[in-house]
Structure 1
C-alpha cells in the first residue's frame, strides 16, 4: 500500500463508555495494553493526578481516550495515557507498578488532600470506580500507514509529547518499526555518542532530543539532499520513507557508520565537536544542531583522516573552521536550506583535511 491508497473505508471507529473500574479490570486481564513507550507514564505531577481524581469526584467531564485494536483483538491505548494511568494508579497502584497515589493539591475539595483510595468513604470510592470515560476504539485496519497517521495526528500539537516521542511511538504502529525504534534507542545510549553530546541540556534529553540526534545522523547520511527548513518535516519524512519502504536503507550499515563516526569524534574532540569557541579558544555553550550536522557529515565521510592526526591539532582546525566567515555565513540566518547545509559541511571538511 502506498500513501495515496488510504481510503475512508479503512478507518472504522466505535465510541464506548468505560468506567474506570472496567478499565482497571480490562488492564488486569491484559485486554487493554498500556505501553509506557507511547507516552512517558507519569509526566503529570502528583498534583495534576490528584486534580483529575478531584474532577471525577466533582462530576466534571473527562476528555475522551483513544484505543486501537491490534492484530489479536487486544486494545492498545494510544492517547489519554496520563488520564487513564492516573485513575488506575489511584484505584490500584500495584496493577500499574507505581507507588500509591496520595491526593494533594486539591483546592475545591480540600478534604481530599492526604487521602488514598482506601481511606475514602465507600460512596466516593464507588463514584471513582463507576465514573465513565468515553473511549473511541479504532478498529483493526489492514494499513500500517493508517495506524501510524492516526497516532501522529492524535498527538501532534499537544504538550505531552515531543516530536521525537511521537516518532518513536508512531514507529511502533508499523510492521518492522520496532527494529528501527530500538536501534535509535540503543545508539542514543552508546557511550561515545553520549560523551560527544554531553553539552545537550538535560531538559532536552528528557524530550528525547538525544534520540532525535541519532535520527538526524541517519538522515544526514541517507537523505541529506532532502534537507529542508522545517527540520521536523525533514526528519518525519525520512523516517516515514524508511518505515514504509519508499526508500531503501541498510540499517546495519547506518549503525556501523554511526558507531565508527562517534568513536572518532569522542576520542578526538570529547564534548567540543558541536559547540562554539570563545575568543580564548575555549569550547563554550550548548550543543548547536548546525555544528552537529557539519561535523558528523564531515567525519563520517573520512574517519581515517581524523584518526591519523594529532587530536589537539584537529581541535584547533575545527575551531578555525567554526570561526571562519564561510561557516558563520552557513550557520546564520537562513541556515536551514540544503545549500547552506552543504556549505557548512564543505567548510568543516576543508579545514579538517588541511
Structure 2
C-alpha cells in the first residue's frame, strides 16, 4: 500500500486458539454471536456434520474460523458457521435451538453411527470439548467498507454461499444495510412478483435467486449504464453504490414503483412474462433472466402505456417479440454485453407498445 493515508483502513487481526468447549461457553454467555443472516445455519447434511465430529475424534486438522469484534468486544462469527454450529449442536443442541445430532455416515469410525454426545465415552467427549480451532479475530474497525469487503472476500468462491447470499450477509456489515436488504426480501415476498416468477426453479430460490431478481430489476431500470458484461459485478456495484451513498436510492419510492410494475405484469401476463413460448403459443421452460430484464425494463418505463391494454394483446405482442430473429440474436452467443442488453429491451418495448 503506497498511500499512507489509507493505513488506517488495513484490517488488523488477532489469532487465538479456542477449544470447542470454550466456544460453547462463549456462545452461551453471548460473548460470541452466531447470526443466521450470515449463513444459513445448516446447509450441511447430517452426514457432513457427522463426519466433522468423526474428524475431530480422529484428530484431523479443522480449518480456521473468522470472527469480527463488535460493540463492547462481542465477537460475531462471520466465516466457519457450519463447522462451529455442528460442534455446538453435538455438544449441546439446545444452545442453538436445533435437534440433537445423531451421528450417521461415519465411514472410518463406523461404530460412531447412531450415537449422540451422551453415548460417547468420557474420553471421547472431552477430546471434542478440548480440541482447539484457530480463530482469526478481525479487530474492531469503524470503517464499514472494510468490514463489508472483508466478509465478501472471505466468502467469494466458496461452495456454501451463493452470490446473493453473500450480498445478504455483507450488506448487514454496513450501517443501514439491514434496512436495505430487509426491503429487498420484502419485495421478493410481494405476491404479484411471486406469481410472475413462478417458473424460477425452487432450487434457485433456496439460494435467494428471487431476491437477486429484485436487485436485477433495479439494476436494469436504474443502473444500466454501469453494466460491463459481468452480471455479478453489476449487481454488486449497484448494491455497494446504494449502501455507501454513491447514488440516490429512495427506498420507499423504489419499492412502490416495483410493486406497481409487478402488479401490472402479473395482471397482464401471469407467469408467462419471462419465458419462451412453444409453437402452440404456450409458455414453456423456466424463467430466463435475459427475458426478465427486457420485460421489466419495458414495463418500468412504459407502465402508463401498457396498463390500459388487454392481457391478450400484450401476450400476443410479447410472443412475437420473443420469437423474432432479432430477439433470438440478442439472447444467443455474446448476449452478456451492454449492446445486446439494449437491443433486447428495445425489441420488447417496440413490440409491446406497437411502435
| TM-score, normalised via structure 1 length | 0.97
Which residue number in structure 2 is paired with residue 72 of structure 1?
72
| 8 A contact 1:10–1:142 mirrored in 2 | no
Gap runs ≥5 in structure 2: none
1:163-195 CA-to-partner distances (Å, cap 9, x unmatched) read: 000011000111110111101111111111010
Superposed, which structure 2 residues align to 1:254-293 within 5 Å? 254-293=254-293
Q: CA deviation at 1:247?
A: 1.5
Which residue number in structure 2 is paired with residue 312 of structure 1?
312
Which residue number in structure 2 is paired with residue 238 of structure 1?
238
1:88-133 CA-to-partner distances (Å, cap 9, x unmatched) read: 0000101100000000011111111111001111111111111110
Distance 1:281 1:221 in 2: 28
1:244-295 CA-to-partner distances (Å, cap 9, x unmatched) read: 1121211112111110010001111000000000111110000000100000
Q: CA deviation at 1:304?
A: 2.4
| 8 A contact 1:222–1:249 mirrored in 2 | no
Q: CA deviation at 1:333?
A: 1.3
Which residue number in structure 1 is paired with residue 201 of structure 2?
201
Which residue number in structure 2 is paired with residue 211 of structure 1?
211
Corresponding residue SS for 1:76? strand
Which residue number in structure 2 is paired with residue 251 of structure 1?
251
Distance 2:331 2:55 in 1: 49
| Count, aligned residues | 351
| 8 A contact 1:184–1:215 mirrored in 2 | yes
Q: CA deviation at 1:227?
A: 1.6
| TM-score, normalised via structure 2 length | 0.97
1:217-259 CA-to-partner distances (Å, cap 9, x unmatched) read: 1111220111221100111111111111121211112111110
Corresponding residue SS for 1:68? strand
Distance 1:64 1:331 in 2: 43
Gap runs ≥5 in structure 1: none
Which aligned segments of 4 or more residues in structure 1 are displaced greater than 6 angstroms? none
Corresponding residue SS for 1:186? helix
| 8 A contact 1:6–1:146 mirrored in 2 | no
Which residue number in structure 2 is paired with residue 300 of structure 1?
300
When the two chains are superposed, the root-mean-square deviation of aligned CA atoms in Å is: 1.2
Distance 1:40 1:9 in 2: 29
Which residue number in structure 2 is paired with residue 27 of structure 1?
27
| 8 A contact 2:9–2:146 mirrored in 1 | no
Q: CA deviation at 1:8?
A: 6.2
Q: CA deviation at 1:5?
A: 6.6
Superposed, which structure 2 residues align to 1:1-354 within 5 Å? 6-7=6-7, 10-354=10-354
More displaced 10-residue stretch of structure 1: 54-63 or 325-334 = 325-334
Distance 2:214 2:61 in 1: 41
Change beyond 3 A, Cα 1:102–1:5: farther
Distance 1:228 1:9 in 2: 28
